Amino acid sequence: MSGGHLRTNTSCENCGQEVLLRFCPNCGQENVETRQSFHYLFTHFIEDLTHYENGFWKAIKYLLFSPVTLTKTYLEGKRKKFIAPVKLFIFINFVFFLLYGVIKVDSKEEESLNIRTSEQNKKLARLDLEIEKDDEFYFFQEKIDNLNKKYTPEEIVDKLREQFKHQLPKALFIYLPIFAFLTWLFHNKKKWWYFEHGIFTFHYFSSLLLLLLIARTLNYLFVKLGLHQIDDVFDVIVFIYIVVLFYKSIYQMYHESKWTTFWKATLLFVINFTLIILIITMLILFSFILIN
């Protein structure tokens, strides 16, 4: 409780409902004076921060090993035990894309980026020649000509990468309802509502982003310590774990036989993987168009 001074007026300032105790029975707003001391402001901030952090750290272990536990807990009506699924996803999504670009990878990745940059330069040159032969792609020809006048090929690739990084979080958020819709198609429509698939989707993707962020951080540490061989093996282990966690989550969520779960999860994995590759390809094209 924040400890703010209660108002003498028992009419809720937010909705007008009569407040008999401390909180409005209609909207839940605390019936305290609007103007409070700095002590109130500070303690209220600490309470909110502590409550949020506790809910987040409690959810971490389940995100790493059993995201379905969070989904089931929420669907059972215990919604104050952990952070709400949407808030959890937005927070992890923000942290992921903030730190993913900050955590610079090793010289091995830089070398790989240089190789890819060189390949991109060659592709841009080939694309330039091909487009000249086809009037239907005049827009792209004009775009490439304008970019070549302003930037070097290396700068174009860097800007393309930067645009891609900015657009990816939006694409991921847009893809969530598609993933939920696919799980809805593959399971009992009478037993499971789309809403429940949506909650599962938020928790699973939060788990996925958290695992990828931890993997990125450990990759950075391995490289700094010169453990390149462990780094390569670790990447394989992370991929296998993500696939296994996907199958495990589908099994725990929908309670079907292991064989039914296996073929449904396999089809879902293949379909989603294909769609993600398609979306990434479109996103790269869109990012190219947005380069100024």
287 within 8 A of 167, measured Cβ to Cβ: yes
Residue 137: C-alpha distances to residues 124, 132, 133, 229, 286 (Å):
14, 8, 9, 45, 15
Task: Work out the number of other CB atoms within 10 angstroms of the CB of residue 80.
Answer: 9
What's the pLDDT at 120? 54
Rounded to two decimals, what is the model's pTM? 0.70
pLDDT for position 113 = 46
Lowest mean pLDDT among 102-106, 153-157, 188-192: 102-106
Other residues' Cβ atoms within 10 Å of the Cβ of residue 131: 19
Q: What is the DSSP letter of 23?
A: B
Report pLDDT for 107: 46
| pLDDT given for residue 21 in this prediction | 80
Report which listed range, 116-130, 132-146, 239-253, 274-288, is most confident: 239-253
> First vs last Cα of the chain: how many Å apart?
52
Point out which residues pair with 18 in neighbouring strands.
11
DSSP 190-238: TT--HHHHHHHHHHHHHHHHHHHHHHHHHHHHHHHTT-HHHHHHHHHHH
CA distance 64 to 114: 33
Mean pLDDT of 46-53: 58
Report how far residue 180's alpha carbon sits from residue 83's, in angstroms, rounded to the nearest whole number. 20
Tokens matching residue 272:
């989603």
pLDDT of residue 42: 60
pLDDT at 247 over 80: yes
Contact indicator for 245, 210 with CB cutoff of 8 Å: no
CA quadruple 215, 218, 224, 227: dihedral, nearest 10: -90
Residue 54's pLDDT is 66
Supply the pLDDT for residue 12.
Answer: 83
**What average pLDDT does the chain have?**
78
Q: Decide which of 178 and 16 is more confident.
A: 178
Compute the half-sphere exposure of residue 270: CA atoms within 13 Å on the CB side of its CA. Answer: 5
**Residue 206 confidence (pLDDT):** 94
